[in-house]
Amino acid sequence: MEYVKKQQGIVLVTAMVMIVAVTAVAVTLMSSSSIDLKITNAAQEREQAENLLIGEVQRVIQNENNRPDSANHFLMSPQQLEIEQNKTFSGEHNTDNEMRALNSGSKQLNCPRSFKYSKGVMCNLTEISTTVEYGTRTRHRLTVVVGVGQQYIDKSKGK
């Protein structure tokens, strides 16, 4: 009978050790899944911010194209673009937009090569930079930069 009483204590200790081991594994798995959720949420927030920026760039381009020709920055000559070198404005959804001319001074730029080159066709190159802050307490910043090349005919070089 003394032998049976000694065995009962060992079973209790073994059961306690197993409970501690199983608890440690469960805590580790929960911690790991919590980190996975945070990573997934961060990726989703970035994807939303990126989609928002792409939509905002498209909106800026559409608004610029809807302006009268005399006010459309894409149709301005390099000299006119130089006067309005940096144009910064706020967009929808708390975005910051900047439009700037890439033409240096009054120098006219030939358009990138195409299949059929037309003499006298020049380009205004404009850069649109759109930025949004996102995430918890807007700690992260994402910027999309798009270049727009608008062709126009230089009457002094055309036929």
Is residue 83 situated within a structural domain?
A: yes
Written as six digits, the tokens of 23 are 């608890």
DSSP track, the chain: -HHHHHHHHHHHHHHHHHHHHHHHHHHHHHHHHHHHHHHHHHHHHHHHHHHHHHHHHHHHHHHHHHS-TTT-GGGS-HHHHHHT-EEEEE-GGGEEEEEEE-S-TT--EEPPP-SS--TTEEEEEEEEEEEEEESGGG-EEEEEEEEEEEEEE-TTT--
Is residue 158 situated within a structural domain?
A: no
pLDDT tens-place string over residues 42-95: 899 999 999 999 999 898 889 888 888 778 877 776 667 666 655 777 777 788
Which residue segment(s) compose the domain that 19 sits in?
A: 2-153
Is residue 22 situated within a structural domain?
A: yes
Alpha-carbon distance values, 65 to 51, 74, 85 (Å): 21, 8, 18
Is residue 159 situated within a structural domain?
A: no
pLDDT for res 47: 93
Domain count, the chain: 1
pLDDT tens-place string over residues 33-44: 888 888 899 899
pLDDT tens-place string over residues 86-102: 577 777 778 888 887 77
